[in-house]
Chain A
């Protein structure tokens, strides 16, 4: 009886993880297909489709665009998020709780709504569809995230550390750069890597706000319109691999606690 329960538990666990990971495994497996269709039987392994991806100028330039947008928008998000978290944590502001709620609100709004709103706004303001517009969109979605992560880690203990620095003659910008930023570094890096992850595979906003130069998810979508082939699998696997690396960095920086 107990053996049966244990067996059932194992089957259940395998089913759950299979459900989550099977699509990814299939994607990666058939990216190694040697023939022209990503359907069984598996004919690989072969790296020909990766070679095809890396020799496709449209895909490689989209990959570079994606990296550029991810890095710059994440830098902007983490900087603005850090400064707003510091402001909320260190100063008494009128309506502080409401303002804090407002700053994190975009987390609950769908990317589609944000993307459409920005499209209308940029149209009205005369900002052309571009990587810059998409980058601004990514700041809108990632700033609240960076704010929430950094604000949650900004405790009262650091107040005295900042005071001590001021007491020893440090100007305010030196306190921020030499004390607060290094002390908050784990949360700042975590915010940065999580923003990178979200920006890297974000589709809707990029789709709505870019035109000629575009990001990798949009380019993959273009590719998919002409049907499935192992090349899409290969580029998808690359996107997935980069996301994994970013998430690992995020986990390492946020979850690894320094000895007190």
Chain B
């Protein structure tokens, strides 16, 4: 296996007394689309700033293409950043903005203009070359910022919540375009977001961060289906969480005692351990069903129609602290106030150490 393009080794960072990154290590492969996903305060933006060279980590090293870049200033790194507020130069034309990086490299005017036009065409803004940034819409400015960062052919493109300032419809549209552009240019993208839908749609490699640590990382399908921690089970998509204690573990089958009775599922965990059982909403069956694990009766609190499905919130009759989050078909005749049995398949339950 080739060396990773970006290698973050044991990076920690403090702002004064506040530890924002705690011993983070991360490897990024060439040509990949990596998403750093986490709530605000999780350290994801600080990690991106460290990669861009705007923040020097308190501890640890950053290698890019095998070279130690920990203390290299932004101007000398093979990275460029797309800022959340785009940070376009307001006094320059769009062409001047996109050509700025090449101008700093001493590229002559004609080549610069040609390459800037090419980059603008790539983001679908070929006609905006002579306009000023204030004449463009938010989405168009976003594309100019992208073209400006891509035109100098960085090894890694860093995107700091690039879609955060756009409205929902535009965000979904730009999301598809970002992915397409990334595949076309083949540059590694590292993209910070708190939007888990954005993460699932874009990522080749999804890194879930919380409280300065990496909670989980891997392909988004794996992170969703088999989250490594309780945090990523609730942040990357929703889950119903059952707290329990392991009473028996043998032959790859774990039995845990929970508020709704003993549950047996495939997995490995020592007897006596406290565990959390996570179940995705689409895996909970409501009503009389043939699922093999019964979770008791629950009183439906809220039913929200969401077009293709209904989101159901129900409280367990056995433990009022237990909230079931389920996805029912749009045609399901469930109403708030109903009391219904809840069940699921044993293999769909995610066993998490608590």
Contacts and interface: CB of A to CB of B under 8 A. Distances in A.
Q: Do A and B come from one complex?
A: yes
Interface of A: 157, 160-161, 163-171, 174, 179, 182-183, 185, 258-260
B134 interface: yes
Given A169-B75, A170-B75, A183 B91 contact: yes
B66 interface: no
Nearest to B104: A169
Interface string B55-87: 000000000000000000111100111010101
B89 A259 contact: no
Contacts of B79: 167
A165 B52 contact: no
Given A170-B75, A183-B89, 13 more contacts: A157-B85, A160-B87, A161-B88, A161-B90, A166-B75, A167-B81, A168-B101, A168-B152, A169-B76, A169-B101, A182-B91, A183-B90, A258-B134
A171 B75 contact: yes
Contacts of A183: 89-91
Interface string B133-159: 010000000000000110010000000
A41 B68 CA distance: 87
A160 B101 contact: no
B71 to A, nearest CB: 15
Contacts of A179: 89
Contacts of A157: 85
Nearest to B100: A168
A contacts with B: majority SS = helix
Nearest to B133: A260
Nearest to B77: A167
Most buried by B among A165, A167, A174, A183: A167
Contacts of A163: 54, 74, 81, 83, 87
B161 to A, nearest CB: 12
Given A157-B85, A163-B83, A179-B89, A168 B104 contact: yes
Interface residues on B, range: 20 to 34
B105 interface: yes
B54 A260 contact: no
Interface of B: 52-54, 73-76, 79-81, 83, 85, 87-91, 100-101, 104-105, 134, 148-149, 152
Contacts of B85: 157, 160
Contacts of B87: 160-161, 163-164
The 10 closest A-B pairs by CB, nearest first: A168-B101, A169-B104, A160-B87, A164-B87, A182-B91, A167-B74, A161-B87, A160-B83, A169-B75, A166-B74
Contacts of A259: 134
A167 B80 contact: yes
11 contacts: A160-B83, A163-B54, A163-B83, A163-B87, A167-B54, A167-B74, A168-B80, A168-B149, A169-B105, A182-B89, A260-B134
Contacts of A167: 52-54, 74-75, 79-81, 149
A175 to B, nearest CB: 9
Contacts of A165: 89, 100
A96 B87 CA distance: 27
A170 B97 CA distance: 13
Nearest to A174: B104
A166 B134 contact: no
A164 to B, nearest CB: 4
A91 to B, nearest CB: 14
A179 B75 CA distance: 15
A10 to B, nearest CB: 43
B83 A166 contact: no
A181 to B, nearest CB: 10
Contacts of B104: 168-170, 174
